Amino acid sequence: MLQSFYNANVIEAGLDEVGRGCLAGPVVAAAVILPATYTHPILTDSKQLSRAQRERVRADVLRDALAWAVAEVSNQEIDRINILKASFLAMHLAVDQLSLRPEHLLVDGNRFTPYPMLPHTCIVKGDTKFLSIAAASVLAKCYRDDLMEQLGMEFPQYRWAQNAGYPTSHHRKAIEEIGPCRWHRMSFQLL
Protein backbone atom coordinates (compact mmCIF):
# COMPACT_ATOMS: atom_id res chain seq x y z
CA MET A 1 0.00 0.00 0.00
CA LEU A 2 1.44 3.35 -1.03
CA GLN A 3 1.74 6.07 1.59
CA SER A 4 -0.42 9.19 1.48
CA PHE A 5 2.28 11.54 2.78
CA TYR A 6 5.90 11.81 3.90
CA ASN A 7 5.42 14.70 6.35
CA ALA A 8 2.15 15.13 8.20
CA ASN A 9 0.48 18.55 8.10
CA VAL A 10 2.61 19.78 5.18
CA ILE A 11 1.44 20.48 1.63
CA GLU A 12 3.50 18.02 -0.39
CA ALA A 13 3.88 17.82 -4.14
CA GLY A 14 5.02 14.56 -5.67
CA LEU A 15 7.33 14.91 -8.70
CA ASP A 16 8.26 12.43 -11.40
CA GLU A 17 9.45 12.48 -14.98
CA VAL A 18 9.17 10.20 -17.97
CA GLY A 19 11.15 9.85 -21.17
CA ARG A 20 14.73 10.14 -19.97
CA GLY A 21 15.84 7.06 -21.88
CA CYS A 22 14.06 7.92 -25.13
CA LEU A 23 15.80 8.70 -28.39
CA ALA A 24 13.15 11.21 -29.47
CA GLY A 25 10.71 13.73 -28.10
CA PRO A 26 10.69 15.82 -24.94
CA VAL A 27 11.24 14.75 -21.38
CA VAL A 28 8.00 15.28 -19.44
CA ALA A 29 7.51 15.85 -15.72
CA ALA A 30 4.46 16.22 -13.53
CA ALA A 31 3.82 17.63 -10.07
CA VAL A 32 0.80 16.53 -8.06
CA ILE A 33 -0.60 17.64 -4.70
CA LEU A 34 -3.12 15.15 -3.31
CA PRO A 35 -5.30 15.45 -0.22
CA ALA A 36 -3.38 14.22 2.86
CA THR A 37 -5.81 11.34 3.40
CA TYR A 38 -5.98 10.31 -0.27
CA THR A 39 -6.24 6.64 -1.16
CA HIS A 40 -6.69 4.88 -4.47
CA PRO A 41 -7.29 1.18 -5.17
CA ILE A 42 -4.76 0.78 -8.01
CA LEU A 43 -2.55 3.89 -8.12
CA THR A 44 1.12 2.94 -8.33
CA ASP A 45 4.13 3.45 -10.60
CA SER A 46 2.83 4.07 -14.13
CA LYS A 47 5.10 1.33 -15.54
CA GLN A 48 3.20 -1.24 -13.46
CA LEU A 49 -0.19 -0.26 -14.88
CA SER A 50 -1.76 -1.14 -18.21
CA ARG A 51 -2.65 1.71 -20.54
CA ALA A 52 -6.34 1.35 -19.64
CA GLN A 53 -5.50 1.45 -15.93
CA ARG A 54 -3.31 4.53 -16.42
CA GLU A 55 -6.15 6.32 -18.22
CA ARG A 56 -8.55 5.48 -15.39
CA VAL A 57 -6.06 6.63 -12.77
CA ARG A 58 -5.31 9.82 -14.73
CA ALA A 59 -9.00 10.74 -14.75
CA ASP A 60 -9.23 10.09 -11.00
CA VAL A 61 -6.11 12.14 -10.22
CA LEU A 62 -7.24 15.06 -12.38
CA ARG A 63 -10.56 15.02 -10.52
CA ASP A 64 -9.21 14.49 -7.00
CA ALA A 65 -5.88 16.37 -6.85
CA LEU A 66 -5.70 19.66 -5.00
CA ALA A 67 -3.32 20.83 -7.73
CA TRP A 68 -1.43 19.28 -10.64
CA ALA A 69 0.74 20.36 -13.54
CA VAL A 70 2.61 18.79 -16.43
CA ALA A 71 5.64 20.34 -18.15
CA GLU A 72 7.99 19.33 -20.92
CA VAL A 73 11.51 20.18 -22.03
CA SER A 74 12.19 19.83 -25.75
CA ASN A 75 14.66 17.50 -27.42
CA GLN A 76 16.64 20.57 -28.55
CA GLU A 77 16.97 21.75 -24.95
CA ILE A 78 17.92 18.21 -23.88
CA ASP A 79 20.71 18.30 -26.49
CA ARG A 80 21.82 21.71 -25.21
CA ILE A 81 21.90 21.09 -21.44
CA ASN A 82 21.85 17.24 -21.12
CA ILE A 83 19.05 14.88 -20.12
CA LEU A 84 19.61 14.99 -16.36
CA LYS A 85 19.45 18.79 -16.19
CA ALA A 86 16.49 18.75 -18.59
CA SER A 87 14.64 16.30 -16.31
CA PHE A 88 15.16 18.56 -13.30
CA LEU A 89 14.16 21.60 -15.37
CA ALA A 90 10.90 19.87 -16.40
CA MET A 91 10.15 19.14 -12.73
CA HIS A 92 10.84 22.78 -11.80
CA LEU A 93 8.56 23.97 -14.62
CA ALA A 94 5.79 21.68 -13.36
CA VAL A 95 6.14 23.08 -9.82
CA ASP A 96 6.04 26.62 -11.27
CA GLN A 97 2.62 25.86 -12.78
CA LEU A 98 0.95 24.48 -9.66
CA SER A 99 -2.07 26.50 -8.57
CA LEU A 100 -1.31 25.70 -4.91
CA ARG A 101 2.14 26.37 -3.48
CA PRO A 102 3.66 23.23 -1.94
CA GLU A 103 5.69 23.34 1.27
CA HIS A 104 7.73 20.24 0.48
CA LEU A 105 8.65 18.31 -2.66
CA LEU A 106 8.81 14.52 -2.87
CA VAL A 107 11.07 13.66 -5.81
CA ASP A 108 11.30 10.27 -7.48
CA GLY A 109 14.96 9.32 -7.72
CA ASN A 110 18.24 9.80 -5.90
CA ARG A 111 19.10 13.42 -6.78
CA PHE A 112 17.52 16.71 -7.67
CA THR A 113 18.48 20.30 -8.30
CA PRO A 114 16.90 22.14 -5.36
CA TYR A 115 13.89 24.24 -6.17
CA PRO A 116 14.28 27.77 -4.74
CA MET A 117 12.94 28.18 -1.20
CA LEU A 118 11.35 24.72 -1.04
CA PRO A 119 12.74 21.73 0.81
CA HIS A 120 12.73 18.41 -1.00
CA THR A 121 13.29 14.74 -0.31
CA CYS A 122 14.58 12.35 -2.97
CA ILE A 123 13.06 8.88 -2.75
CA VAL A 124 14.46 6.03 -4.81
CA LYS A 125 11.53 4.18 -6.42
CA GLY A 126 9.28 6.81 -4.88
CA ASP A 127 6.60 6.06 -7.46
CA THR A 128 6.12 2.68 -5.73
CA LYS A 129 6.08 4.22 -2.23
CA PHE A 130 4.11 7.50 -2.26
CA LEU A 131 0.76 8.22 -3.90
CA SER A 132 1.66 11.76 -4.98
CA ILE A 133 4.78 10.59 -6.82
CA ALA A 134 2.87 7.71 -8.40
CA ALA A 135 0.18 10.16 -9.51
CA ALA A 136 2.85 12.38 -11.07
CA SER A 137 4.31 9.37 -12.88
CA VAL A 138 0.89 8.52 -14.33
CA LEU A 139 0.15 12.08 -15.49
CA ALA A 140 3.59 12.45 -17.06
CA LYS A 141 3.44 9.08 -18.82
CA CYS A 142 -0.08 9.57 -20.18
CA TYR A 143 0.81 13.05 -21.43
CA ARG A 144 4.02 11.89 -23.10
CA ASP A 145 2.48 8.76 -24.63
CA ASP A 146 -0.32 10.87 -26.13
CA LEU A 147 2.21 13.37 -27.47
CA MET A 148 4.44 10.70 -29.03
CA GLU A 149 1.38 9.10 -30.62
CA GLN A 150 0.53 12.46 -32.21
CA LEU A 151 4.11 13.02 -33.38
CA GLY A 152 4.10 9.47 -34.72
CA MET A 153 1.32 10.38 -37.15
CA GLU A 154 3.75 12.69 -38.90
CA PHE A 155 6.59 10.15 -38.73
CA PRO A 156 4.90 6.71 -38.80
CA GLN A 157 8.09 4.91 -39.82
CA TYR A 158 9.49 5.19 -36.27
CA ARG A 159 6.37 3.58 -34.68
CA TRP A 160 6.24 6.04 -31.80
CA ALA A 161 2.66 5.04 -31.02
CA GLN A 162 4.09 1.67 -30.00
CA ASN A 163 7.52 2.57 -28.59
CA ALA A 164 6.99 6.20 -27.38
CA GLY A 165 10.45 7.07 -28.70
CA TYR A 166 12.32 4.47 -26.66
CA PRO A 167 15.25 2.64 -28.31
CA THR A 168 13.48 -0.46 -29.60
CA SER A 169 15.10 -2.49 -32.35
CA HIS A 170 12.51 -1.23 -34.85
CA HIS A 171 13.08 2.40 -33.86
CA ARG A 172 16.86 2.05 -34.26
CA LYS A 173 16.41 0.24 -37.59
CA ALA A 174 14.20 3.06 -38.90
CA ILE A 175 16.81 5.62 -37.85
CA GLU A 176 19.49 3.59 -39.62
CA GLU A 177 17.42 3.32 -42.82
CA ILE A 178 15.95 6.82 -43.12
CA GLY A 179 17.91 8.84 -40.59
CA PRO A 180 16.73 10.91 -37.64
CA CYS A 181 14.04 13.60 -37.78
CA ARG A 182 13.68 16.94 -36.01
CA TRP A 183 12.27 15.23 -32.88
CA HIS A 184 15.33 13.05 -32.29
CA ARG A 185 17.83 13.83 -29.55
CA MET A 186 21.02 14.32 -31.52
CA SER A 187 23.22 14.16 -28.40
CA PHE A 188 22.06 10.58 -27.80
CA GLN A 189 23.57 7.48 -29.35
CA LEU A 190 20.83 6.88 -31.91
CA LEU A 191 22.42 3.79 -33.47
- For 48-82, b/e burial (b = at least 16 CB within 10 A) is ebeeeebebbbebbeeebbbbbbbbbebebbeeee
Strand, helix or coil for residue 98: coil
Determine the Cα–Cα distance for residues 99 and 86; give it in Å rounded to an integer.
22
Asked whether 18 and 46 are in contact (CB, 8 A), the reply is: yes
Sequence letter at residue 156: P
Q: Which residues of the chain have pLDDT under 50?
A: none
- pTM beyond cutoff 0.85: yes
Neighbouring C-beta atoms of residue 10, cutoff 10 Å: 12
Neighbouring C-beta atoms of residue 156, cutoff 10 Å: 10
pLDDT of residue 130: 98
